[in-house]
Structure 1
Amino acid sequence: MTAPLPPPAPEPHHRFWPPGVPHTVRPSAVGLSHYLAVAAERDPDKPAIHFCGQSLSYGALQQRVEALAAWLQRRLGVQPGDRVWLMSQNCPQYVVGFFALLRLGAVVVPVNPMSTATELAWLQQDTDAQVALLAQELLPRVQGLLASGALRAAVVHAYADAMHPSTVGAADSPWPEPFHQPRQALDRAALHGLEDALTEALSAGWRPANDHPGPDALAVLPYTSGTTGHPKGCMHTHGTVLASNLASQIWRGLHSASVFLSVAPLFHMLGMQNGMNLPLTLGATLVMMPRWHAPSAARLIEQHRVSVWTAPPSMVIDFFAQADVLQRDLSSLSLLSGGGAAMPEAVATLLAERFGLRYNEAYGLSETAAFLHANPLHRGKRQCLGMPTPGVVSRIVDPDTLAELPPGEVGELVTSGPQLMLGYWRNPAATEAAFFERDGRRFFRTGDLASVDEDGYYFMRDRLKRMINASGFKVWPAEVESALYEHPAIHEACVIAVDDPRRGETVKALVVLKPAQRGQLSEAQLIAWARERMAVYKAPAWVEFVDHLPKSGTGKILWRELQEAHRQRAQAAPTAPATDPATAPAAAPTSTSV
């Protein structure tokens, strides 16, 4: 087992540490699959998953996990260390596949179900995966890989097999057509039905030949959506994933009686950890949604008395924008948390004043198995990344020199802790660039620009590559977006950089108005409103009203996509707007910090 890191020295934030929470958490001596087995042994009849009107108990879940693990081992020869794809929308079969692979000591490669055939071909070469577990509607994407022999086998599931029969094909179902398709015939020798595999293994009484893997075994290989080039696989062991989970459980006071709403995609660390691994290692119950649908979320929270929900701000904003949400009984919801973007001040105030809920903001990355920083429940700060959690040491450094910066200065956030990945899969150059050693610790460079206050709380300023440089003045788009959310007509906003012949770059806001406000607010009115509330170089010089903003599977607004689309349009029709000289700031030295 990996040796634990030395305990962190006293830090400013320890003055505000949650009562009863230790500064470090003892590392687990067992792997993830062992936790599920214990939960099933302790309470086999307890619901583990509620999904589309059907419940799956811990005993039944563990039985299916063991059977599939044994079948994969006997029939397909999956061995410890093998990389195996898992490609599906959220469903119980995803959970069974995930833990069956962990039980074998194989490495789960969670694949975005929106991946194209070209992306999948590259991913197969990078992971050398030979076997895939996937939903049947995704089979056309991998037929070329199966035909060429790059993939030698696929285990296929149908969502409808996990749904209550009354919900399959229901006229009022919010779920798209693939969720209602019955099991389809498989016409290739390399294709195997999941239910057929389970039936064979259960009838024969097969069990995996090996023991549960330990904490140092590689567990999961999530791929980042890198800013340039191909994505990079983050090598996480059972121990690094559990370090994040165990710290989150203790920090937030979670327990086996908690009921989790699981809606963020399981292929992404946010959903994988908070919507699957964390509740199942606790022996808690998760209420799983195939995908986001605000009215269904409200109904399920009320029906199952959901107490814990982790979601990005955009999803929370969508949920509480429902006209009839006040008629729902949401009294069971005790913890609403998330990250990925700051919760706008105006929305946080609405949650507190109208619903009595505080959005517990936190911070993590794929490279840190999600949970890394968080606000204490008893003393949170709004629009804040919180403080380093048990065992974590973070610093703000100069991105060029790595010299530590004092409180209040903006620099790159670097961090060290037991949940850090081992490195990037088959990419030693990227691994070397991402880590450095200091004071006996291995620090990871997050690429996020942040600052820390005198209390030891960290605040996001922006991505290192997202900063807008307006005449030498630094503008953090996240700060401008947060201010825009205070306007009562704005539903969503995204700020991007626009080339400017005088300032170099200037600020543009892409804005979605609330339905009742469309046509009631002009671009000029919003620009004037913004200039009254922020420095003129920060205020948008350009506003564009749009019907919607593109989002990732986890609900994050895809600012890079918007930025790139604007730049391509500008290159195609280079008519750079002139800046208003009466409002433009004078040129500033490039070293100016704002």
Structure 2
Amino acid sequence: MNTLHYAHWPQGLPHHLLAPEASVYTNLQVSALRYPDKPAIVFYDSVITYRQLHEEVLALAGYLQQVCGVQKGDRVLLNMQNSPQFVIGFYAILRADAMAVPVNPMLMTDELAHYIADSGARTALVSQEIFARLQPLIGHDTLQNAVVATYSDHLNVATDLTIPDFIKAERQVPDQAGISSWQAAIQAGHQPNIHQAGPDDLACMPYTSGTTGKPKGCIHNHRSVMFNIVGSPTWSGAIVATHVALAVLPFFHVTGMQSVMNAMIYCGGTLVILPRWDRDAAGQLITRYAVSNWTLVPSMMIDFLSNPRLAEYDISKLTRVSGGGAAMPAAIAQKLLELSGQVYMEGYGLSETMAPSHLNPPQRMKQQCLGMPYFNVDSRVVDPTTLQEVKQGETGEIWINGPQVFQGYWNDPQKTADSFAELDGKQFFRSGDLGYIDPEGFFFFTDRLKRMINASGFKVWPAEVESMMYQHPAIQECCIISAHDAYRGETVKAVIVKKPGSDITAEEIMTWAHDKMAAYKVPKFVDFVDSLPKSGTGKVMWRTLQEKESAKK
């Protein structure tokens, strides 16, 4: 085990952390007992206290059990944008002893059908503005019930903040079997059964994808989820109820869920929620509520610091600005430091590790660096061919052993087996990312073993996009590669061979794709070619196309 990084360990913190032996729901229960009248959530100036939050969680958990028939271990789809309802829904699912299946609210009907069929979810919590995409699936396959949330139900005070129309929209829930409004579910007043879930029971299943194209569920129990909930704020040296977090990183993403939503509930802090990125609203909220913690992706900070109104906002109360998913450009990190005195804290994690496995220590934060293995984590750099550990400074695959590592892929024992390997008597998760360790024990990313596109922190798996693109009647062959994007870092490009006689245009392809897949997966560039390069066995040589595209930078 590499211990070089211990020389730069945060002062006063142990190398090993002891996390609570309890379900994640109990974090909310404890905070509600400790701080009943403290703001848990601020939503466009409307406040929800910990007491109110806990009461709604209990009511919804009761509804899930008594009306929707949710039982221990059941999977419940959670499909909405950042909102009070997302927080309530997540904890209600856990209180009902079920497993939350958070999905990207940008997903379209065909994509959602896979998540429902694969997870076996019989119940969904979904927001009103995207419900039309889920509605055709109710009553088919496994999905039988949907509770539909209207965001405006939690707008109860006047505000001068700009509220998007989809947030202000009045309640419009169809009268259909199996569908109920969120408000009706809460007001029904059902009490949940005695809470039974413990550390080793199912808790959350974020989905990831891979080379085969179909997204796979990452199985996490309460133990693996709890560890990073506790570890993230502990690493910064403060678990205090005075934390105020700007919650704009999506909650369905493990970083937003764990390092923001769940960490604040554990601390008894306040979540200042924005459903979508809005740089002026962010500046107003940071100023108005003295935001101390802000976790983000680099594109948000790039946009925030380029705002001509930046001088109007007070960001002096920030004490932690952190993120991951993509490296922060050095010039942007320097500007943040000059304006706020904050060094951007970078980290590294995956859906399989339920957020961080590596973090930069607060007293020595290296830029464009994954950080060091944090509490309880043993991480190695291994030759992906020989499966032997490489020397310090050499590049290899990043392997991870730690309590936050998932329990495997849902319904896929073979992929689970392929994702783990033994070294020195320990089971390590093979990340698929390549990197090296510097002389001080810090990890740096160099490349991907897996074929993947990182668009502003959203992971796009080319094989998944290709499988959907082949549904278009004019496409004979398609290869998805990464293209450079000044704002997003990377974006999606499609290299297409048309079927004979087709006169389809790039614009028509992209318009069609918008109806079939989430917006971040839609190709932003389309090249038409006569043929795709292929190997002697007939496989498309995607790397040849990728290298040609990368040479254009």
Report what 2:437 is aligned to.
452
Contact 2:344 2:365 in 1 (8 A): no
Return the alpha-carbon distance in structure 2 between the equivalents of residues 361 and 512 of structure 1: 18
Q: How far has the Cα of 1:392 moved from its partner?
A: 0.3
1:296-341 Cα offsets, whole Å, 9 max, x none, are 1011000000000111111111111111213321111011001111
1:395-421 Cα offsets, whole Å, 9 max, x none, are 111111111111111111111100000
TM-score (norm 2): 0.82
Report what 2:389 is aligned to.
404
The answer to whether structure 1 residue 377 and structure 2 residue 366 are counterparts is: no
Contact 1:66 1:103 in 2 (8 A): yes
Return the alpha-carbon distance in structure 2 between the equivalents of residues 355 and 383 of structure 1: 19
Report what 1:548 is aligned to.
none
Change (3 A) 1:230 1:40: same
Contact 1:131 1:153 in 2 (8 A): yes
Contact 2:217 2:410 in 1 (8 A): yes
Contact 1:13 1:456 in 2 (8 A): yes
Report what 1:162 is aligned to.
154
* Amino acid across the alignment from 1:193: S
* Amino acid across the alignment from 2:372: M
Return the alpha-carbon distance in structure 1 between the equivalents of residues 106 and 411 of structure 2: 24
Change (3 A) 1:354 1:32: same
Return the alpha-carbon distance in structure 1 between the equivalents of residues 175 and 345 of structure 2: 49
Report what 2:549 is aligned to.
none
Contact 1:260 1:307 in 2 (8 A): yes
Which structure's CA Rg is the greater one?
1
Return the alpha-carbon distance in structure 2 between the equivalents of residues 449 and 149 of structure 1: 40
Change (3 A) 1:423 1:191: same
Report what 2:177 is aligned to.
189
Q: How far has the Cα of 1:460 moved from its partner?
A: 0.8
Return the alpha-carbon distance in structure 1 between the equivalents of residues 288 and 530 of structure 2: 52
The answer to whether structure 1 residue 300 and structure 2 residue 285 are counterparts is: yes
Q: How far has the Cα of 1:382 moved from its partner?
A: 1.4
Return the alpha-carbon distance in structure 2 between the equivalents of residues 258 and 190 of structure 1: 40
The answer to whether structure 1 residue 251 and structure 2 residue 239 are counterparts is: no
SS at structure 2 position matched to 1:99: helix
> After the TM superposition, which residues 365-514 of structure 1 pair with which residues of structure 2 at under 5 Å, given as runs?
365-465=350-450, 509-511=484-486
* Amino acid across the alignment from 1:180: K
Return the alpha-carbon distance in structure 2 between the equivalents of residues 69 and 60 of structure 1: 14
* Identity among equivalent pairs (%): 43
Change (3 A) 1:344 1:101: same
Q: How far has the Cα of 1:571 moved from its partner?
A: 2.5
* Amino acid across the alignment from 2:445: M
1:173-230 Cα offsets, whole Å, 9 max, x none, are 252x3212111143102111111121111xxxx4321225211111011001434410
Contact 1:48 1:61 in 2 (8 A): yes
Contact 2:44 2:163 in 1 (8 A): no
Change (3 A) 1:216 1:508: closer
Change (3 A) 1:132 1:569: same
The answer to whether structure 1 residue 83 and structure 2 residue 75 are counterparts is: yes
Counterpart selection for 2:268 from 275, 283, 286: 283
SS at structure 2 position matched to 1:364: strand
Change (3 A) 1:141 1:159: same
Contact 1:222 1:234 in 2 (8 A): yes
Counterpart selection for 2:337 from 335, 349, 352: 352
1:556-585 Cα offsets, whole Å, 9 max, x none, are x96x866xx66x61525889xxxxxxxxxx
Return the alpha-carbon distance in structure 1 between the equivalents of residues 71 and 32 of structure 2: 24
SS at structure 2 position matched to 1:353: helix
Q: How far has the Cα of 1:129 moved from its partner?
A: 0.7
Return the alpha-carbon distance in structure 1 between the equivalents of residues 484 and 66 of structure 2: 56
SS at structure 1 position matched to 2:137: helix
1:524-544 Cα offsets, whole Å, 9 max, x none, are xxxxxxxxxxxxxxxxxxxxx
Report what 1:313 is aligned to.
298
Report what 2:96 is aligned to.
104
Report what 1:224 is aligned to.
208
Contact 1:262 1:274 in 2 (8 A): no
Report what 1:146 is aligned to.
138
SS at structure 1 position matched to 2:421: strand
Return the alpha-carbon distance in structure 2 between the equivalents of residues 341 and 10 of structure 1: 25
Contact 1:34 1:212 in 2 (8 A): no
Report what 1:516 is aligned to.
none
Change (3 A) 1:67 1:510: closer
Return the alpha-carbon distance in structure 2 between the equivalents of residues 396 and 103 of structure 1: 39
Return the alpha-carbon distance in structure 1 between the equivalents of residues 194 and 168 of structure 2: 37
Contact 1:18 1:377 in 2 (8 A): yes
Return the alpha-carbon distance in structure 2 between the equivalents of residues 512 and 415 of structure 1: 31
Return the alpha-carbon distance in structure 1 between the equivalents of residues 269 and 485 of structure 2: 41
Return the alpha-carbon distance in structure 2 between the equivalents of residues 208 and 182 of structure 1: 29
The answer to whether structure 1 residue 92 and structure 2 residue 84 are counterparts is: yes
Counterpart selection for 2:224 from 218, 240, 249: 240
Return the alpha-carbon distance in structure 2 between the equivalents of residues 267 and 246 of structure 1: 19
Mean Cα displacement is larger for which, 353-362 or 427-436? 353-362
Report what 1:569 is aligned to.
527
Return the alpha-carbon distance in structure 2 between the equivalents of residues 319 and 510 of structure 1: 18
Q: How far has the Cα of 1:507 moved from its partner?
A: 11
* Amino acid across the alignment from 1:45: D
Report what 1:113 is aligned to.
105
Q: What's the RMSD between the two structures over aligned residues? A: 2.5
Q: How far has the Cα of 1:30 moved from its partner?
A: 0.7
SS at structure 1 position matched to 2:384: coil
Return the alpha-carbon distance in structure 2 between the equivalents of residues 191 and 127 of structure 1: 20
User: Which residues of structure 1 form unaligned runs of 5+?
Assistant: 1-8, 468-476, 482-495, 497-505, 514-556, 576-594
Report what 1:67 is aligned to.
59
Return the alpha-carbon distance in structure 2 between the equivalents of residues 305 and 227 of structure 1: 44
Q: How far has the Cα of 1:21 moved from its partner?
A: 1.1
Report what 2:541 is aligned to.
none
Return the alpha-carbon distance in structure 2 between the equivalents of residues 121 and 185 of structure 1: 21
Q: Tell me the matched-pair count.
A: 478
Return the alpha-carbon distance in structure 1 between the equivalents of residues 486 and 128 of structure 2: 37
Change (3 A) 1:292 1:32: same
SS at structure 2 position matched to 1:445: strand
Change (3 A) 1:264 1:447: same
Report what 2:314 is aligned to.
329
Contact 1:245 1:371 in 2 (8 A): no
Counterpart selection for 2:248 from 239, 260, 263: 263
Q: How far has the Cα of 1:429 moved from its partner?
A: 1.1
Q: How far has the Cα of 1:166 moved from its partner?
A: 2.9
TM-score (norm 1): 0.76
Contact 2:162 2:281 in 1 (8 A): no
